[in-house]
A and B are shown apart, each in its own frame.
Chain A
């Protein structure tokens, strides 16, 4: 059974649907996702940590009314964790239960003993799927080469079962933090979009959307403060994700505005390194708070 497919005729339509999924893309990102669907090509999203690369894929899945299948990459990721694996304990138990050696190899390597990992799951799905391949730069290059093959043919071969072809192509989103350059061949196959930090207006809008009920003034001050932090020399500048976390904390404390006391209490949800927290102590902090408060009244 094929589920009804949602499709978008224009970038504006997709943008609207993403907004409906509580995600505010900038025009460039909306264009990239739209082209990915229109040209049936994977979209490679790069950008600093916390700018919403992973969130974009989730929102796209919601907008398309599709299932999100996520493959988190790491060094040493291999086929048995990305594609499929045989369920060995069950296989052994099955042989024993049958006694007298009456189990055939076909039976033992049949679908019921197969553990399906994300890539197989995405290829072998009946409904619409958004396949998120997260932090591809962390995987080994051998895996990248394998992935390239999967993304060009949308098929997977299991020696014992044969070749499984995608009945419908999943929408594919790849993300990378650029810890290394990806293979040219993989890049050539994908549309490339670089996501920067959002403009201040958009960030305020994002905070208001993601933290319902937050006073507008507080959202503005929080966004302006985080923006100030990004301009400093920090080990890990906060992303939009941190702004949202922090705004949630502030709203939960029932604040209408930020001040030195509450910032000191909650700074840990914005800055994740001790050195960074030390960098912005005292005068820097007071200066940033004043600037943020001033910009919010403008």
Chain B
């Protein structure tokens, strides 16, 4: 292959990758071309690794890359390109859902007409159950959520900054100042630790029974992920899937639709214990939950074994700084945590909150901002 041909090949392949959802910038294409210039082009594995190492930077993109590589370079049977197909599906579904709820809302609720609500309307909206909102109300609530999401639990960083009321001497400045007094440390500059946001891990149940709430909470999550670093979001139903990257880059509706495809097996119940086990095994092992505030959003309906829920909650509680359970059903004053999964989980939960309306999300925000550890280390 000649130089020009290689460049064309790589550029086109970069476009193929972009279509399946892998971000490929021009810098990477350049690296790939330079890389290919350095290796033996007759060895297929060297070409494969060179392209993979220069064009892909995330472990979860490797599978997509492999499919694209087989299809493009080896002219293998074209495997369905997963993400692209899904995107189209959710686009269709979101459009359909929006249309349906729109017409519903118009008949059922006169407040859905797009005019400004007064202060009392605003108050009503705060109290209204997410499950009963019209799309228009929901849209307004979204904007309010962003404000709530900015409150985050904090921890002390090891980094220190000058502070007259600090707890440590700032030796660098002390030395400099002592120059003037012949080595006598007359002035004593102090410094103290800054606080930085504590890691926050959110596990959101998106199974059928949680539908309306999960949607609201995902918008809330979207706002939290946008609030800065150290936030990890996961969705679960029958399986667990990581949402962080989707929420950072995509529209929350699309993220929810994708999570639904991956994590929810319609018609079978929620596997809370199994999903927690998956989280503990894959992410807990990598210390994602260590020292984090973990928020679990679920109604606690477990299909399988409540004992498994208890076991996995115990593991999670050992690693986490604190666990907050948000259960929309708790919004009903008559609610009792009788569901097996919920009962099994409660002993390990530091805070148990509702999450059925905007006011309760505000409460959640306040708890997160001031959370203290209840359970022993």
Contacts and interface: CB of A to CB of B under 8 A. Distances in A.
Interface string B15-40: 00000000101011001001100111
A39 B158 contact: no
Contacts of B41: none
A86 B62 contact: no
By secondary structure, the B interface counts as helix
Contacts of B158: 75-78
A44 B54 CA distance: 11
A191 B40 CA distance: 18
Given A38-B38, A233-B281, A31 B175 contact: no
Contact of B28 (A88, A92, A180, A188): A188
B53 A191 contact: yes
Interface string A186-205: 01101111100000000000
Given A86-B175, A95-B183, A180 B288 contact: yes
B38 A39 contact: yes
Interface in B258-316: 281, 285-288, 290
Chain A, interface residues (CB within 8 Å), range: 35 or more
Contacts of A77: 158
B230 interface: yes
Interface of B: 23, 25, 27-28, 31, 34-35, 38-40, 45-46, 49-50, 52-54, 56-59, 62, 157-159, 171-172, 174-176, 178-183, 185, 196, 229-230, 232, 244-245, 281, 285-288, 290
A96 interface: yes
Contacts, number: 125
Interface in A75-111: 75-78, 86, 88, 91-92, 95-96, 98-101, 103, 105, 108
Given A11-B40, A34-B38, A41-B31, A193 B53 contact: yes
Contacts of A140: 157, 159, 196
Contact of A188 (B25, B176, B244, B290): B25
Nearest to A32: B53
A44 B57 CA distance: 9
B38 A178 contact: no
A41 B159 CA distance: 29
B31 A101 contact: no
Contacts of B176: 105, 108
A279 interface: no
B243 to A, nearest CB: 12
B194 to A, nearest CB: 10
Contact of B182 (A100, A235, A236): A100
A13 to B, nearest CB: 11
A112 to B, nearest CB: 14
Given A31-B39, A92-B178, A101-B180, 10 more contacts: A32-B49, A39-B31, A46-B59, A105-B179, A179-B290, A187-B57, A187-B58, A191-B53, A191-B54, A233-B281
